[in-house]
Amino acid sequence: MFRSRSKEEKAPTDKVTADLSKQPRDPQAPKGRPTPKRSEAQSQRRRASSGTPLDRKEAMKRQREARRADLARQREALANGDERYLPVRDKGPVRRFVRDYVDSRFCVAEFFLPMAVIILVLSVIQVRNIQNISLLLWLFVIVLIVVDSIGLSFRMRKQLKERFPNTPKRGAVAYGLMRSLQMRRLRLPKPQVKRGERP
């Protein structure tokens, strides 16, 4: 008798708790945690929307990953000439023209490294005549490079004035001369024109 009555009492209370869980929570009821200050809540919302990491380690990790991705894009751009991801010193139509102008010609300066190696080998040989020849070769190569570089810079300045009259060209000639000192296959960004081709 007592058992049946207790079962009957339990059933309605179960129903009531089930109904209560379905009902929306009263805003005045306690939440079980302290309400954050307005400034804290706003900063949390801003972080969530902007994707800013909460701790310093996470921020550093994201920064490293972003830097790695930028460098990878830059390397790819240097290989294929994609203007969007090139370093700042290589960007712009003026720099692109200078690169193409230098790459379309034979420059004496680009053969400086191989010639320097040959001359150094000759200067090591303990024969007086060969050492004298190596010294003369040094002078000849340096004079050739200087003359060729002066001619290249004059022609480049003239072309830049004609093609880009109102564009700033500061450092463009020096950029071209530095490029001419590198061997063609080692140049970055990679040459986009063939020798003899008009830029």
**How far apart (Å, rounded) are the C-alpha atoms in residues 121 and 131?**
10
Task: Name the domain count of the chain.
Answer: 2
Residue 23: pLDDT over 70: no
- Both 176 and 157 in a single domain? yes
Comparing C-alpha atoms, which of 167, 170, 191 is closest to residue 179?
191
Confidence at residue 36, expressed as pLDDT on a 0 to 100 scale? 66
Segments forming the whole domain that contains residue 80: 54-86
- Domain endpoint, select from 86, 103, 136: 86
- Domain endpoint, select from 62, 86, 110: 86
pTM for the complete prediction? 0.65
Confidence at residue 26, expressed as pLDDT on a 0 to 100 scale? 55
- Both 179 and 151 in a single domain? yes
- Domain endpoint, select from 86, 110, 145: 86
pLDDT tens track for 34-82? 676 777 777 666 665 555 555 788 888 888 988 888 888 878 877 777 7
Q: How many helices (H) and strands (E) does the chain have?
A: 7, 0
70 assigned to some structural domain: yes
Confidence at residue 156, expressed as pLDDT on a 0 to 100 scale? 95
- Both 79 and 105 in a single domain? no
